Structure 1
Amino acid sequence: MASISADSLHLLTALLSISIPVIFTATVVEDLDNLQPPPDFNSTIINNCLRNPSLRYCNSTPFDLHQIFKSTIVASHLCNISSNPNCVESFPKIDLHSQPKIAPLYLSFTFFWKYCPLTILSIDLSNNSLKGNFPTDVFYCSQIQALDLSHNNLSGDLPIHNFSLLENLTFLNLSYNDFTECRISDSHFFERFNSTSFVRSGLVPNHKEFRIKAVLLLVGFPVLVLVMVVFWGWLCFFRRRNRHMFTPSILKAATDGFSVRNLVGRNGRASVYRGVLRDGSEVRVEIYLDTMSIENRRRFVEHCKILVQLQHKNIVPVLGWCDSRRLMAIVTEWVDGQNIETWLSTCNPPWKQRVQVILGIAAGVCYLHEEWPQVGYNLKTRNMMLSVDGEPLITRFKLLDDHHSSTKKTYEFGMFMLEIVTNRRAAKELEKSVDIVEWVKSNYPDNVENVIDKRMKKRVEIVSEAAEVLEFGLTCIDVSKSHQPSWDRICDLLSDISSTAISSASGDRKTSRVERGGRDRQHVHHRGVE
């Protein structure tokens, strides 16, 4: 290549003449692929080195003839492309300004830069959209006086210390690139060149932009922090208010798309599914099938907002609700266990456990009566659960029921007590179920043993206590003469029954019921409140 020639023109002429046959008749790539060194190329190289030992390839013995020959081809092409006046005699500059299609090609020829012609004093690779790191191969041309790499997309760290190799370099232009900002310790490098060499190069901070950034940082950061605090505060408040709201997609995911295998039952207007939330919590999802009016939807949500506040050990925790046009649902905790109806019919529970179930449900009802009288609930044995710990739970609530009066609640509780004692279900709807009531009335008080669950042991004390419960139940369902007791009275009487059952179980029959009633007056009122 021309770099093979020395500063003297006759060496340059001799070297370039080697490749004269087709050097300007084909592209540089074709020349590199097709041309081979002539037979006397090695002797030519040796003679050149004897004449001028400073040539770059003279120090690389044994000679890599193939690379040296390729460099002569590239030098010939590059000299011509750079519009040098006489490439046989002189190659003073590499000018690839605004030639983005070929500039990367010539930069890739490392063998050329390794044997860079000593005559080259200027390299212009500006405005070529070059990407990547600084092209370090140009440092082989250590004799250059001018280097222009402006208006490219070069990035990364600038190899500042390598510029010490370019002792003759007086003009440098790295403007309009994306280099990494230099360290303060490298500040002496910028003293060597004019400040216009580094305009928007990324190497030095733009003072105007720095001032703008400083103002934005000093003003914007506190504002940002304030906005973030307000946002997170609002988000936490919103989540606290809406942690009980479930979307249809959440419930659909929890129930595996409301699959049949997760359907556990249907209750009138509702279908009940078992589901698992994303946090692993098992839930009971009660979906209402009929379409609600806008007003009923509003009342539904207001009712649900009350249900999620209920806290009692005998009331299943209500986790939230879903209110959308496509889906209305109530979500409660899932209770492992069986409903009380199944428990009665299959387990033949002893009298003490039956009393405890009555007391547990009564405690929940008393809590609702005193704290949330507007809440309706279902006291049918098939709709109440007995947990694996033996705790009875009210699990279903009556929504949008304007007629669930205190009288009706008392009536339902009376029917519940009769079912617990007799293990006999009402055959018809609540308002028309006179069969079990008439049957109990016809046997009370003379033939109480006939209505007590036949599977249960009928000791004298059990029959006596069962008779009291039956009497109590009949009193609760008697709405004809307004003989129903108040719920304060109901709680007192059930507390009395509880004390009697506990005493009979322990064999202690010495304390009178009147004395116990006064002492245990508040037992049921607060039993299980959490």
Structure 2
Amino acid sequence: MLSTTSLALQYGYVKISYEGLHQATNGFSSSNLVGTGSFASVYRGTLVNFERPVAIKVLNLKTRGASKSFMAECKALGKIKHRNLVSILTCCSSVDYKGNDFKAIVFEFMSNGSLETLLHNTIEDSESTNPSLNLIQRINIALDVAFALDYLHNDSWEGVVHCDIKPSNVLLDDDMVAHLGDFGLSRVIHGAASQISSDQASSSAIKGTIGYIPPEYGAGGSVSAEGDMYSYGVLLLEMLTEKKPTDHLFGEGLSLHMFCNMAIPDGITKIVDSRLLIPFDEGQRRITQQQNMEDTIRECLVSFGRIGVACSQEFPNQRMSIKDVINELHAIKQKLSC
């Protein structure tokens, strides 16, 4: 087991102890718990060495794969830096007060929570400035995630596949800028570390979350950038419709992809989140200066839906490229801004 010191030295992080994290979260109090996942629980905390609140991801080491997830995330985020990726601040590999192994990762705290919460939380917080997401905000978020994927796939140190693109892994900061997080399932796809072990290869079919996993993974295919594009396409369609891919509406013979594909273009207004039909700008002000705004919004919704459908095609070689996605989203944003 790597110690806190060796991890800090290996990845250049500030050293932090279990005691420090225990104090930062008031003993990992439930009042500071902001989320739970397959491998970990996330707490909000305050550390002496950091001016702003932090998010502390505590691994559940009793869950199979949690330790591998910890090391994969430390390795990935220790070498990749981008405006639209969640930044790792430090990590801890130690023992708790009972002598049990303890692993945690400390990230920037994202004050506006996850995309999943903003899309699906029906209780509007009267103190929130963003109780729901309008069309322009969703396009900006889609662009932010696309920028992150373009960097990971094409510009990062060795090429990285995220393997778990979904709304709960898209986090929003004070300015509603989206940051892609949770690299516990990530894989390097080329370069010196591109060889996937037999253990990784055999488990590739379950890398991801049900509803977002590309069909080739289910057939035992290797992880790939095209796999991330499939998950991203599903995410876009979820942003468009406010329906999860696991919604009770979908099952035998019908998927979120098919549901949207059949409705585009003529039935677009029947399937979209109704809040997207209201013309608001990024400051939540109603847009009145543009004539035929309803027609423009409809056209943009159709274009957005077509991108999601194109990315979530069944076969990898049919999926839209990330570069084309970015260009198309920019065009939609420009049309709304005219």
Structure-2-length-normalised TM-score: 0.68
Partner of residue 460 from structure 1, selected from 282, 291, 295: 295
The answer (yes or no) to whether the contact 2:73–2:182 under 8 Å persists in 1 is no
1:390 aligned to 2:176?
A: yes
Helix, strand or coil at the partner of 1:338: coil
Aligned residue for 1:271? 41
Distance 2:323 2:54 in 1: 31
Aligned residue for 2:149? 365
How far is the alpha carbon of 1:332 from its aligned partner? 0.6
Pairwise mapping of residues 99-498 of structure 1 onto structure 2 (< 5 A)? Answer: 242-281=12-51, 282-291=53-62, 297=67, 300-301=70-71, 303-324=73-94, 326-345=101-120, 346=124, 347-370=131-154, 371=156, 372-376=158-162, 378-399=164-185, 402=200, 403=204, 405=223, 406-427=225-246, 435-457=255-277, 459-480=294-315, 482-485=317-320, 489-498=321-330
Partner of residue 337 from structure 2, selected from 501, 505, 515: 505
Letter in 2 for 1:449: T
Q: Which consecutive residues of structure 2, in runs of 5 or more, have no partner in the other structure?
A: 96-100, 125-130, 188-199, 208-222, 279-293
Distance 2:251 2:13 in 1: 42
The answer (yes or no) to whether the contact 2:227–2:316 under 8 Å persists in 1 is no
> How much identity, in percent, do the aligned residues show?
24
Helix, strand or coil at the partner of 2:333: helix
Count of residue correspondences: 265
CA separation of 1:399 and 1:262: change in aligned 2, threshold 3 A: same
Distance 1:299 1:283 in 2: 20
Structure 1 range deviating more: 268-277 or 252-261: 252-261
Distance 1:453 1:389 in 2: 23
The answer (yes or no) to whether the contact 1:314–1:391 under 8 Å persists in 2 is yes
CA separation of 1:499 and 1:480: change in aligned 2, threshold 3 A: closer
The answer (yes or no) to whether the contact 2:73–2:184 under 8 Å persists in 1 is no
Residue by residue over 1:158-212, the C-alpha shift from the partner in whole angstroms, topping out at 9 and shown as x without a partner, is xxxxxxxxxxxxxxxxxxxxxxxxxxxxxxxxxxxxxxxxxxxxxxxxxxxxxxx
Greater C-alpha radius of gyration: 1
Letter in 1 for 2:326: L
Distance 1:316 1:365 in 2: 13
Distance 1:298 1:455 in 2: 41
Could you say which structure has the greater relative contact order, defined with CA pairs below 8 angstroms and 6 or more residues apart? 2
More helix as a share of residues: 1
When the two chains are superposed, the root-mean-square deviation of aligned CA atoms in Å is: 3.2
Structure-1-length-normalised TM-score: 0.45
Helix, strand or coil at the partner of 1:397: coil
